[in-house]
């Protein structure tokens, strides 16, 4: 009878066989062991025990142990993932969205395992100051009572090697977390009005807005601490129909949602992103907002559903009234050569227009130039975001003038001769003329 090699067996099987040998004595046989009883003692299936019996119940390694597949679902996408890690993008959700856009069909866990195995590609993190911890209680409001707004900035490296700044307007509902993001070339007051109106179209008009002490919102505070509003912003509040509350400086608990949204945009939406122009960037930002507003967030739920059910009955719908058109179409002065400057580019105005100012509005990839009274559309330009001047049709055409035409058939005919040469100093050297006279 073959003696069992307990050292080569797993501890559970070795213990069970040893007990069965002690109970059966000389009648025990390893070749005729009762697999049903062994299954009851070890919890291992009979099919597996039958396979183990062929090797004397000894543990044997699989022939493919340690071998890895030559190609996986991540093969072909490691270059993109390495580039994201080298740029400091370690969020697996962001990496998954970038790879899904390029055709990746694997899971997020595969990306997490790859990131853990390639930590050497991630640049070291640098902290300017130590975290200060929680210093107060967060500020809460009811459904649709308040929206928070703020500006964020990012650097853009153009294909020519130049670097410029782009402003990100962010607005978020204080109650449900519904968000809206739009990008502008700068953070001027006219762009603030355009961003707020677009945000109100997307989410509705709340009772009041929470913001910090922007120059385009408040000038200063009086002796009692009451704000002195900037006159254009004060008129804008009356026209749209909302109020504004200023937050305490350096106190993120008051409007921390929008500050967290700005950081989330930088870490999630802008991480490793490339774009063609600001129009393309805004279209992608709107799709990103739709995606985030319909995604379940821990602690918030689904923002769009909550905003529709609770906040929708409180906020008011923004109507496109004629009073809002001046804010959507800022005024521009026409230069001496017939151009207007808008968002750092020059666009042509027809020469026939006699006014000194126009109003300009960009909608998507088209730019519209209206007269100062918004009564006439002067020109339409395709926004290419190139630094070359954009000319309009018949920009330098002269105005039409009355012209007389003959009322009877014209019978008089005259002949026109070529202009004679006026250079008399070299006339004596004209030998061709002498040959013509000899003939």
Q: With a cut of 70, say whether residue 385 has pLDDT above it.
A: no
Most confident segment among 55-59, 313-317, 392-396? 313-317
Which pLDDT band, with edges at 50, 70 and 90, does 235 fall under? very high
Do the domain assignments include residue 32? yes
Residue where one domain finishes, among candidates 339, 361, 382: 382
Q: Are residues 44 and 110 in the same domain?
A: no
Please indicate, yes or no, whether residues 165 and 244 belong to a single structural domain of this protein.
yes
Q: Which domain CATH number covers 352?
A: 2.30.30
246 domain-assigned: yes
Whether the per-residue pLDDT at 436 is higher than 60: the answer is no
Tokens of 64: 């493919």
* CA–CA separation, 206 and 145 (whole Å): 6
Banded model confidence at residue 22, pLDDT cuts 50, 70, 90:
confident
Helix or strand run (H / E) with residue 219: strand 218-221
- 211 and 308 share a domain? yes
Answer for the pair 185, 173: CB distance below 8 angstroms, yes or no: no
Question: In this predicted structure, what is the pLDDT of residue 334?
Answer: 93
What does 46-91 look like in DSSP terms, one character per residue? Answer: HHHHHHHHTTTT-----TTTT---S--TTTT-HHHHHHHHHTT---
For residue 206, tell me if it sits in a domain: yes
Asked if the structure places residue 318 within a domain, the reply is: no
Claim to verify: residue 279 and residue 167 sit in the same structural domain: yes
Identify the CA nearest to 180 among candidates 189, 171, 188: 171
CB-based contact 377:385 (threshold 8 Å): no
Average pLDDT over residues 265-272: 91
Least confident of 58-72, 101-115, 268-282: 58-72
Segment (H or E) for 220:
strand 218-221
- At 245 the pLDDT is 93
| Whether residues 172 and 205 fall in one domain | yes
- Does residue 357 lie in a domain region? yes
In a domain, 359, yes or no: yes
Measured distance CA(366)–CA(193) in Å, rounded: 19
Last residue of a domain, one of 121, 154, 175: 121
48 and 82 part of one domain: no
Band the pLDDT of 238: cuts 50, 70, 90: very high
Answer yes or no: do 156 and 33 share one domain.
Answer: no
Claim to verify: residue 161 and residue 308 sit in the same structural domain: yes
Cα 318 from Cα 305, distance rounded (Å): 20
Give yes or no for a contact between 113 and 73, defined as CB atoms under 8 angstroms apart.
no
Q: What is the pLDDT of residues 102-140, one digit of tens each?
A: 999 999 999 999 999 999 999 887 766 666 666 666 677
- Do 359 and 265 share a domain, yes or no? no
Q: Which of 303, 196, 217, 211 is nearest to 255 (CA)?
A: 211
Is residue 368 domain-shared with residue 248, that is, in the same domain?
no
Q: Look up the CATH number of the domain holding residue 303.
A: 3.30.420.10
Give the pLDDT mean for 88-103.
Answer: 91
pLDDT of res. 65: 73
**Would you state the pLDDT for residue 320?**
82
In a domain, 237, yes or no: yes
Residue pair 20/69 in contact by the 8 Å Cβ criterion? no
Give me the mean pLDDT over the 40-53 stretch: 88
On whether residue 430 sits in a domain, the answer given is no
In the predicted structure, residue 151 carries a pLDDT above the cut 80: yes
Mean pLDDT, range 152-174, rounded to an integer? 90
Alpha-carbon distance of 263 to 269, in angstroms, equals 10
Domain end residue (candidates: 363, 382, 401): 382
Domain count, the chain: 4
Query: Does residue 280 sit in the same domain as residue 364?
Result: no
Domain with 350, as residue range(s), is: 329-382
- The reported pLDDT for the residue numbered 59 is 77
- Same domain for 234 and 205: yes
Answer whether residue 437 shows pLDDT above 60. no
Most confident of 230-244, 247-261, 276-290, 309-323: 230-244
pLDDT digits (tens, 9 = 90+) for 344-381: 789 999 888 888 999 999 887 889 999 999 889 999 99
């Amino acid at each position: 009878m073959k003696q069992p090699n307990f050292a080569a067996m797993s501890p559970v099987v070795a213990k069970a066989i040893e007990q069965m040998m002690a109970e059966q004595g000389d009648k025990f046989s390893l070749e005729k062991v009762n697999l049903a009883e062994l299954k009851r003692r070890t919890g291992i299936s009979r099919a597996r025990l039958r396979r183990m019996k062929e090797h004397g119940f000894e543990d044997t390694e699989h022939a493919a142990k340690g071998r890895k597949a030559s190609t996986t679902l991540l093969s072909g996408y490691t270059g993109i993932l390495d580039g994201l890690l080298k740029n400091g993008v370690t969020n697996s959700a962001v990496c998954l969205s970038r790879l899904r856009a390029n055709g990746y069909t694997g899971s997020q866990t595969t990306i997490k395992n790859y990131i853990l195995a390639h930590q050497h590609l991630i640049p070291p993190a640098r902290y300017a100051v130590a975290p200060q911890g929680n210093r107060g209680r967060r500020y809460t409001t009811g459904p649709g009572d308040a929206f928070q707004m703020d500006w964020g900035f990012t650097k853009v490296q153009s294909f020519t090697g130049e670097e410029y700044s782009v402003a990100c307007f962010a607005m978020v509902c204080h109650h449900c977390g519904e968000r809206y993001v739009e990008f502008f070339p700068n953070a001027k007051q006219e762009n603030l009005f355009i961003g707020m109106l677009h945000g109100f179209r997307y989410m509705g008009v709340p009772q009041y807005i929470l913001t910090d002490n922007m120059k385009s919102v408040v000038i200063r505070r009086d002796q009692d601490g009451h704000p002195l509003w900037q006159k254009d912003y004060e008129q804008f509040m009356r026209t749209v129909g909302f109020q504004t509350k200023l937050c305490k400086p350096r106190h993120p608990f008051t409007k921390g949602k929008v500050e967290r949204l700005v950081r989330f945009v930088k870490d999630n939406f802008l991480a490793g992103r490339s774009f063609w122009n600001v129009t393309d960037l805004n279209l992608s930002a709107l799709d990103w907002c739709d995606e985030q507003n319909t995604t379940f967030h821990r602690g918030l739920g689904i923002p769009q559903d909550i905003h529709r059910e609770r906040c929708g009955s409180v906020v008011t719908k923004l109507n496109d009234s004629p009073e809002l058109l001046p804010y959507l179409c800022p005024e521009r002065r026409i230069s001496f050569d017939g151009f207007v400057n808008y968002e750092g580019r020059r666009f042509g105005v027809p020469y026939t227009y006699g006014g000194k100012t126009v109003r300009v509005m960009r909608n998507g990839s088209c730019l519209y130039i209206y007269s100062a009274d918004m009564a006439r559309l002067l020109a339409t330009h395709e926004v290419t975001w190139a630094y070359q001047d954009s000319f309009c049709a018949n920009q330098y055409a002269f105005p039409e003038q009355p012209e007389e035409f003959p009322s009877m058939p014209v019978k008089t005919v005259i002949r026109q001769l070529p202009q004679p040469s006026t250079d008399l100093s070299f006339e004596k050297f004209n030998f061709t003329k002498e040959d013509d006279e000899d003939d």
